[in-house]
Chain A
């Protein structure tokens, strides 16, 4: 099956610094990747849709200047948390969309292992 990697798996940073998280599709090309965040014992909240070669599309309430997304190639998307604060501490997960078998517009998503960010 499709494999998505994410780096780093965990990071601790000081308040005010920036952190970059990488998401790679290893064995397929992903024109679209997604970034989610997940708080403990809660669901995945879609933050943004990352489109190769164009600007990301952010969900309502997500600050695009704080969560910078770059999708420079068909296999790599990055999320940079700028000027991180303790409330940004969370589990960030990326996913890549792979063509499914259900027909037009039906795609399953393959998730990376996640990055646990702790801001002190």
Chain B
């Protein structure tokens, strides 16, 4: 299936520091989606990016989609303890797998006060 690579796997920051996770695909993506999974919980949809070079913001979260639509990033400004969780990017399948989502391995964010 579609391969989506995500780094880093883990990130530990002190509250107030910034955080960024990166997602990369070897093929062009029609869109990319981001999800957050709290410890013990299930993934929750955050946002989807569709357009080349698109930038979207949700309060302290900034999402970017690369010009070539092969990479994406999520940046959190001034992290808070409520940001703890694993952040996944997900890319859609192509052709016969259109409509399916293939997840990156996720970046587990730990924030200490």
Contact = CB atoms under 8 A, between A and B. Distances in A.
Size category of the B interface is: 20 to 34
Contacts of B88: 43-44
Given A43-B88, A43-B103, A111 B30 contact: no
A49 interface: yes
B48 A108 contact: yes
Interface stretch (B13-21, B38-46, B66-74, B76-84): B38-46
Contacts of A108: 33, 45, 48
Nearest to A43: B105
Interface string A38-57: 00011111100100000000
A109 B92 CA distance: 11
Interface stretch (A14-22, A65-73, A76-84, A95-103): A95-103
B100 interface: yes
B48 A46 contact: no
Contacts of B44: 111
A105 B31 CA distance: 9
B92 A105 contact: yes
Contact of B43 (A46, A106, A111): A111
A113 B42 contact: yes
Contact of A109 (B30, B41, B45): B45
B50 A103 contact: yes
B108 A106 contact: no
17 contacts: A32-B99, A34-B100, A43-B88, A43-B103, A43-B104, A44-B43, A45-B103, A102-B48, A105-B92, A106-B30, A106-B50, A107-B99, A108-B33, A109-B33, A110-B45, A113-B41, A113-B42
